[in-house]
Amino acid sequence: MNIVVCVKYVPATADRRFSAVDITVDRAGVEGTLCELDEHAIEEALRITEADEGEVTVVTVGPEEAADAIARGLQMGAHKGVHIVDDALHGSDAAATSLVLAAAVRRIGYDIVLCGMASTDGAMGVVPAMLAERLGVPQLTLASQVTVEGGTVTIRRESDTATEHIEASGPLVLSVTDRSNEPRYPSFKGIMAAKRKLVETWSPAELGIAPEVGPEAAGTRVSAFAARPARTGGQIVSDEGEGGVRLAEYLVAQKLV
Amino acid sequence: MSEILVVVDHIGGAVRKTTAELLTCARRLGEPSAVYFGAEDGLIPGQLARYGATKVYVLDDDAYRDCLVAPKAEALAHLVATRRPAAVLIPSTLEGKEVAARLSIKTDSGLVTDASDIVRGEDGAVETAKPVFGGAFTTTVSITKGTPIVTLKPNSLTPPENAGATVPIEVETVDVAVSDAAKAARIIRRESRADLGRPDLAHASIVVSGGRGTGGDFDAVEAFADCLGAAVGASRAAVDAGWYPHALQVGQTGVTVTPQLYVASGISGAIQHIAGMRSSRTVVAVNKDPDAPIFGLADFGVVGDLTSVLVQATTEIDSRRASGA
Ligand SMILES: Cc1cc2nc3c(=O)[nH]c(=O)nc-3n(C[C@H](O)[C@H](O)[C@H](O)COP(=O)(O)OP(=O)(O)OC[C@H]3O[C@@H](n4cnc5c(N)ncnc54)[C@H](O)[C@@H]3O)c2cc1C
Ligand SMILES: Nc1ncnc2c1ncn2[C@@H]1O[C@H](COP(=O)(O)O)[C@@H](O)[C@H]1O
């Protein structure tokens, strides 16, 4: 079973992300990392191939620095990496990202394409469905549990109103939530071995998709950007035995009860 | 006037609140037509007409129920191709967002997910408000390509009732041949969640949440919630500890809530939790640590033990009600 895992390189911590937003014109100096939610996708891929056999390829679409996200995947145990990098990709939206990913995973070859549930910076959670649409294969998305038997994959999905058990046969797109597994930490051996693993760098042109990416091709345009006003005048009281009464009084005064 | 498609969010015919909000937004853009997936006998057209739908397309096929996402996207693509609507509005559920994603690829159209408002922009484009970075910022996003597709978060606006036309709503049955490819991901079993007798978390107008600070005892949280007619939520720490079901987790990897009132008890206010509740109108926090980050977000906070504070607040509200005050 050959698995391609799509991983995203995102601004590192929450704090940095906000400061990065403050200075949207200048994202430079903001440290990045492999999206935490994509670690679950890598872990799932490793488990599936360890139980069966096959190769795990991590692929990312992103700037030079995104090579770090691939490196982390290789340290965890993925076999090889593909980095699609190009300046024209800067500012691409989910549709363009899925276009590039679709071309890349086709070229790599796959039984399963594995994704995270959402990217922690964009958090749209739409790339996996878009990828399935473009590849014309079934989607098994937002799995909290995955079972692979022969060529059939079964997932458990917590939908809005119910728990669903869903089944499909490969090739397919699978995405996993943060409840699917506990991602491993790279071992020292894994870190050393990663240095010898192959990482290929492709350009969108090589994939034959030059003009359709970047901000001009995007279907949306951001015209304004405002920080949510800070909450002011928040009233904090200390419970000296009547904290609950004070809380009740507040709710009554606000006509919330 | 141009037609706007609105996908109806319903459970067995009972229309959920988001649908009214979507119809309200749709009226600003054109003439709303509801798209109803399900058996026609469950449909109550009046529920849709009341908020301004003038027409409803009924699409009934086992595939919409038994297969994941793809059949609905196919059906909507068919409606877009044949009816040429000016926009498609979809509820921001997990399924809704994925249907929207596939539809945007099929129709080569711009997509905005998790919008909090939808209007017609000055340039005529469909313009949305979209909170980003866990709600810390709001962007204005116009859709510039194809048939604009927007998913709207629940509790984004208050729909005026009886805004709709008094003319009878037109019901049209639409048959779309769902492809075999779209039926490839089959739902083989579905377990409905136990009804806890409380409002649905994502749509609730009051939410009371408990975190690690409960120590696993949600009694005070639940009693306070019931006194307010609220839904109960939990932090991931409480869910991971097995104290509360994951379906009730509020946050980045759980449910996003936008109630009138959010009460966080024994929750520190991690960025991933805040991402799921930041848009709440009023935030109340109860935490024994005065430095807990959640207080930075609170309109009202009590520094103290959550059990004693919530129990006392419940008693106080109950007794005020009893005395008619
Ligand atoms: C990728 C990712 C996604 C995540 N997604 C989510 C998510 O969707 N939702 C989410 O909630 N978290 C999420 N988290 C986890 C998040 O980072 C925090 O770990 C979590 O929210 C902490 O939960 P908590 O506030 O209940 O626990 P803690 O941070 O441990 O806080 C407990 C609080 O309770 C207070 N307390 C203790 N005892 C009492 C008492 N008797 N009375 C009053 N107060 C008391 C303490 O002072 C403390 O402030 C995610 C993390 C990651 C990495
Ligand atoms: N630039 C990217 N490169 C590789 N994979 C991506 C990229 N963006 C998104 N993905 C994948 O799609 C998932 C959902 O992302 P999103 O739709 O952006 O929330 C992520 O968890 C990744 O698995």
Within-domain flag for A244: no
Contact A166 B186 (CB under 8 A): yes
A65-69, A185-189, A231-235, B94-98: the lowest-pLDDT one:
A231-235
Distance B306 CA to ligand 2 centre (A): 39
C-alpha to C-alpha distance for B59 and B99, rounded to whole angstroms = 15
Q: Is the model more confident about A224 or about B142?
A: B142
C-alpha to C-alpha distance for B49 and B317, rounded to whole angstroms = 38
Q: Is A95 on the interface with B (CB under 8 A)?
A: yes
pLDDT of A218 higher than 50: yes
Contact B282 A256 (CB under 8 A): yes
Mean pLDDT over B167-180 rounds to 91
Within-domain flag for B107: yes
Q: Cα dist. A168→B15, B96, B118 in Å? A: 30, 20, 36
Instruction: For residues B231 and B142, state if they share a domain.
Output: no
Measured by CA distance, the residue closest to atom 21 of ligand 2 is A116
Binning pLDDT at 50, 70 and 90, where does residue A223 land? confident
pLDDT of A28 higher than 90: no
Cβ(B212) – ligand 1 distance below 6 Å: yes
Distance B267 CA to ligand 1 centre (A): 5
pLDDT in tens, A131-174: 999 999 999 999 999 999 988 999 999 988 899 999 999 899 99
Within-domain flag for A236: no
Within-domain flag for B191: no
Q: Is A238 on the interface with B (CB under 8 A)?
A: yes
SS3 category, A170: coil
Residue of B219, B239, B240, B268 best suited for mutating to test ligand 1, as the one with most atoms within 8 Å of CB = B268
Specify whether the CB–CB gap between B200 and B206 falls below 8 A.
Answer: no
**Chain B interface mutation, best of A19, A39, A133, highest count of B Cβ atoms under 10 Å:** A133
Mean pLDDT over A177-183 rounds to 96
Instruction: For residues B19 and B166, state if they share a domain.
Output: yes
Q: Could you count the other beta carbons within 10 Å of the beta carbon of residue B192?
A: 9
Q: Cα dist. B181→A95, A114, A248, B184, B185 in Å? A: 21, 19, 56, 5, 9
Specify whether the CB–CB gap between B230 and B198 falls below 8 A.
Answer: yes
Within-domain flag for B55: yes
Q: Which pLDDT value is given to residue A15?
A: 43
* Residue found under tokens 């044949």: B82
Distance A116 CA to ligand 2 centre (A): 7
Q: Is the model more confident about A218 or about B261?
A: B261
- State the complex-level ipTM: 0.94
Specify whether the CB–CB gap between A9 and A33 falls below 8 A.
Answer: yes
Q: Could you count the other beta carbons within 10 Å of the beta carbon of residue B179?
A: 13
Instruction: For residues B278 and B173, state if they share a domain.
Output: no
Within-domain flag for A242: no
Instruction: For residues B168 and B21, state if they share a domain.
Output: yes
Within-domain flag for A235: no
Domain that holds residue A22: 3-217
Domain boundary among B183, B213, B236: B183
Q: Which pLDDT value is given to residue B165?
A: 60
The pLDDT mean for chain A works out to 89
Q: Cα dist. B295→A183, A234, A235, A252, B134 in Å? A: 32, 8, 9, 20, 17
Instruction: For residues B210 and B173, state if they share a domain.
Output: no
What percent of the residues of chain A are helix, what percent strand, and what percent coil, each to the nearest 5? 35, 30, 35
Contact B188 A21 (CB under 8 A): no
Residues ≥6 apart with Cβ < 8 Å to B156: B21, B115, B116, B117, B258
Cross-sheet strand order for the sheet of B300-303:
A235-238, B300-303, B282-287, B261-265, B206-210, B231-234
Q: What percent of chain B has a predicted confidence (pLDDT) above 70?
A: 98
The backbone torsions φ and ψ at residue B24, rounded to the nearest 5 degrees and listed phi first, read: -60, -45
What number of residues does chain B have?
Answer: 325
Residue of A56, A65, A115, A130 best suited for mutating to test ligand 2, as the one with most atoms within 8 Å of CB = A115
String of DSSP letters for A116-149: ES--TTT----HHHHHHHHHT--EEEEEEEEEEE
Instruction: For residues B216 and B146, state if they share a domain.
Output: no
Contact B320 A248 (CB under 8 A): yes
Q: Where are the alpha helices (DSSP H) in chain A?
A: 14-22, 36-51, 67-76, 94-108, 127-135, 188-194, 243-253
Instruction: For residues B206 and B139, state if they share a domain.
Output: no
Tokens of B146: 């194809």
Cβ(B305) – ligand 1 distance below 6 Å: yes
Within-domain flag for A255: no
Specify whether the CB–CB gap between A94 and B151 falls below 8 A.
Answer: no
Binning pLDDT at 50, 70 and 90, where does residue A227 land? confident
Measured by CA distance, the residue closest to atom 14 of ligand 1 is B272
Closest atom of ligand 2 to A62 CA is 1
Predicted model pTM: 0.94
A130-139, A206-215, B284-293: the lowest-pLDDT one:
A206-215
Residue of A nearest to B102 (CA): A130
A53-62, A119-128, B82-91, B306-315: the lowest-pLDDT one:
A119-128
pLDDT of B141 higher than 90: yes
CATH code of the domain covering residue B46: 3.40.50.620
Instruction: For residues B214 and B260, state if they share a domain.
Output: yes
Q: Which pLDDT value is given to residue A25?
A: 33
C-alpha to C-alpha distance for A54 and A51, rounded to whole angstroms = 10
CATH code of the domain covering residue B280: 3.40.50.1220
C-alpha to C-alpha distance for A96 and B5, rounded to whole angstroms = 25
Q: Which pLDDT value is given to residue A226?
A: 85
Kindly report the nearest CA distance between residue A164 and chain B, in angstroms: 4
CATH code of the domain covering residue A180: 3.40.50.620
A26-40, B45-59, B176-190: the lowest-pLDDT one:
A26-40
Contact B312 A243 (CB under 8 A): yes
First to last CA, chain B: 51
Within-domain flag for A48: yes
Kindly report the nearest CA distance between residue B242 and chain A, in angstroms: 12
Within-domain flag for B296: yes
Q: What percent of chain A has a predicted confidence (pLDDT) above 70?
A: 90
Within-domain flag for A243: no
The number of distinct structural domains making up chain A is 1
Q: Is A145 on the interface with B (CB under 8 A)?
A: no
Cis amide bond preceding A183, omega within 30? no
pLDDT in tens, B206-233: 999 999 999 999 999 999 999 999 999 9
Report the amino acid identity of residue A173. Answer: V
Instruction: For residues B83 and B149, state if they share a domain.
Output: yes
Contact A247 B300 (CB under 8 A): yes
Instruction: For residues B140 and B221, state if they share a domain.
Output: no
pLDDT of A20 higher than 50: no
Domain that holds residue B152: 3-183
Q: Is the model more confident about B152 or about B166?
A: B152
Q: What percent of chain A has a predicted confidence (pLDDT) above 90?
A: 68
DSSP letter (8 states) at residue B182:
G
Q: Is A98 on the interface with B (CB under 8 A)?
A: yes
A14-28, A106-120, B12-26, B302-316: the lowest-pLDDT one:
A14-28
Contact B105 A247 (CB under 8 A): no
Q: What is the largest CA-CA distance in chain A?
A: 70
Instruction: For residues B44 and B129, state if they share a domain.
Output: yes
Instruction: For residues B208 and B260, state if they share a domain.
Output: yes
Residues of B in contact with A227 (CB under 8 A): 136-137
C-alpha to C-alpha distance for A99 and B309, rounded to whole angstroms = 53
Within-domain flag for A227: no
pLDDT of A49 higher than 90: yes
The number of distinct structural domains making up chain B is 2
Residues ≥6 apart with Cβ < 8 Å to A11: A17, A20, A27, A30, A31, A32, A33, A121
C-alpha to C-alpha distance for A6 and A204, rounded to whole angstroms = 16
Kindly report the nearest CA distance between residue A79 and chain B, in angstroms: 28
String of DSSP letters for B255-318: B----SEEEEES----HHHHTTTTT-SEEEEEES-TT-GGGGG-SEEEES-HHHHHHHHHHHHH
Of B133, B278, B297, B132, the closest CA to residue A13 belongs to B133
Within-domain flag for B149: yes
C-alpha to C-alpha distance for B85 and B241, rounded to whole angstroms = 48
Residue of A42, A82, A97, A139 best suited for mutating to test ligand 2, as the one with most atoms within 8 Å of CB = A97
